[in-house]
Structure 1
Amino acid sequence: MTFTRLEFGRAIYAVSVFPVVVMVCVMILVAVVSTYIVASAFFTRFPQLSPVNLLVPNSIVKKRKFAAPIRHISHRGGAAEAMENTMDAFKYAAGLGTQMLELDVHLTKDGKVVVLHDLNLLRVAGVDRDVTQTDYDELPALLKKVPVHFAPGTTFETSRNLRIPLLEDVFKAFPTLPINIDPKDENPLLVKAVGELIEKYERAHLTVWGSPNDTIARWCHETNPEVGLLFSMRRVVVVCFLFYLGLLPYVPLKETHLEVPLLSIFLGEDFQEAWGKHAGRQLLVRAANLFLFRRSLYRHLDRRGIPTYLWVLNREKDWKEAFDNGIEGVMTDRPASLMRFLENNRLV
């Protein structure tokens, strides 16, 4: 094969131009990516200036559900210092000055909303039966000694005969105290019943609810969009990925509160002794904690009016780590100890 002079010239031209074209394309790509990174970083820091928020006011930055920061949240009323999810526990926590009660609810067989964490009654009442298959009047009294979930090796003991309370009784007893509700059953009738109680006692402005279960969280929002909403676990993962991709400042969120675990607590000696040391599990926990525990993410959400609460922290070093990283509130089984910590550090 022979080349004409013209064909040879064209070949030489193409070979000489190609690197220039590639270089120009790379420079354009670098410029676009750099601009995107800088813009995302800027709008992460100043979400109120996000183009989406400017075009649709209050779509990115929203009014906070509670005007004052919620620092102190009593998990089940303070399960290590009072019998969990009982009126005794809630009164104890309220007496200490807790800023929010956290509780769990189920629906009994006869349609009563009761405050209880476990579906099965065995751990707290010694009866191997599901609460959803039991009428309210047939529910047994609570045991006088119950293990604390997030304090391995710890139990709470009482001499009092205590019963599982109704959510309605809690609402009546604490009409002005914010309450964080976790509906446990994937049952729309439970969410509907809780929603009716919230409306009956005019507590939409004092309540936040939701579930790690995405279906339950969606039902909560559909039932009453005016009630504060927690992120489901699926939504937490979505938010984290949007954050790492730099897209979060442009995406509206329907949720009002982020509530996530501080996974590093499960690396503590108490949990390791209770669960057994396993290198693979420890590696998984560390990786998940690195993915989830990001100070810049929590600060971005806070600037958008979405506070972050961590659960369930029972040690001073964990409280310090949480507040040092921009967390607004901590959920604890030890409300008296947490209150002393907050007072000593002038956080309340």
Structure 2
Amino acid sequence: MKLKLLILLLFFGNATLAQDSLFARRIVDTLTSKYFWGRGYTNDGMGKAARFIAQEFKRYGLQPMDGKDYFQPFTFNVNTFPGKMEVTINGAALRPGIDFIVSPESRGVAAKGTLEQKDSVTFIDAQNRVMVSLQNKLTWSVAQEVGDYTLIQVDKKALNAMPACISTNIENKLINNFKAANICGIVKGTVKPDSVMMFTAHYDHLGGMGSATYFPGANDNASGMAMLLSLAKYYAAHPESYTMAFMCFAGEEAGILGSKHFTENPLIPLSSIKFLINTDLAGTGGEGITVVNASVYPKQFELLKQVNAKGNYLTKVYSRGKAANSDHYWFTEKGVPAFFIYTMGGIKAYHDVFDVSKTLPLNEYNDLFKLIVGFNAELMK
């Protein structure tokens, strides 16, 4: 009888863990789908993602942080590429996102010209203010303004000879006061509702470059959003003595703008936040995790390592100092203790069209989830 009971417990325990991974995979598949168009600035990608997350919060039973709705709106300028995205070099048409990217601050241009070599990787069409830069890897980003030139970064492997002539048909549009929103929800504490543990992740990514190419952003940061939603769902079903707050930020890729806006316009007192955990790039973990601010908060970092060792979760927990590389930063600047946790190993896709769900392993997702829950429990003691 005892053996049968043990087998049943093990079966249902493993089923629960598998379900956690399945939940994460569904979230990542959803957020990286074409419908959300890279969760960016064209095709209402970011707006669709914001509404999806708010619906999930409501479905889990989270309350709006301000008592009204889940949205904290703000605006910023952004340069977009909604239309034509055509580049031909030496008579060969290049593929957007695969063979070339347009630097995010570039202006639109429709022209033909010859290229003058400036160094081993730089070629210029001075008449049309077009520059070609040969790269080993293409990495895109977001710009809030438009330059007076067009910079095209080309994968070296896409060309059989040095660039000599170029034809471009690229459309850009600067959007002033682009409308974005942070998504904010809470699970009220049962004993100490004025004490807050906060979990954050950014839901935006790079969006689309032209009308046919988008950047899925599986690891960055659909994976972190899956972790945040897993935590939100868990704590909604298992309320703690402290209030659990969940912040999904927009504008991270444009300069960690959503978190900056929240810290300057907080919906809850920042002094009530006892600790903050920010998750970004949470989709791998075969080589462990890195913890930003570990050296800033050594006692909490030691506690995290103890929880990890006791649970035998992740192979390594690396320490890193202060860094302005994600949404935790503005909170730390305001005196809120915070860790930014990201996974190590696995895929190398980052800010490119190859950061897709099907190659994201999520191999340490369950262990990272358990580590965060265990660490959070220790912090509340």
Q: Give the TM-score category using the shorter length.
A: under 0.3
**Higher Cα Rg, which structure:** 1
Return the TM-score normalized by structure 1.
0.27
Task: Judging by fraction of residues, say which structure has more helix.
Answer: 1
TM-score, normalization by structure 2: 0.25
Q: Which has the higher strand share?
A: 2
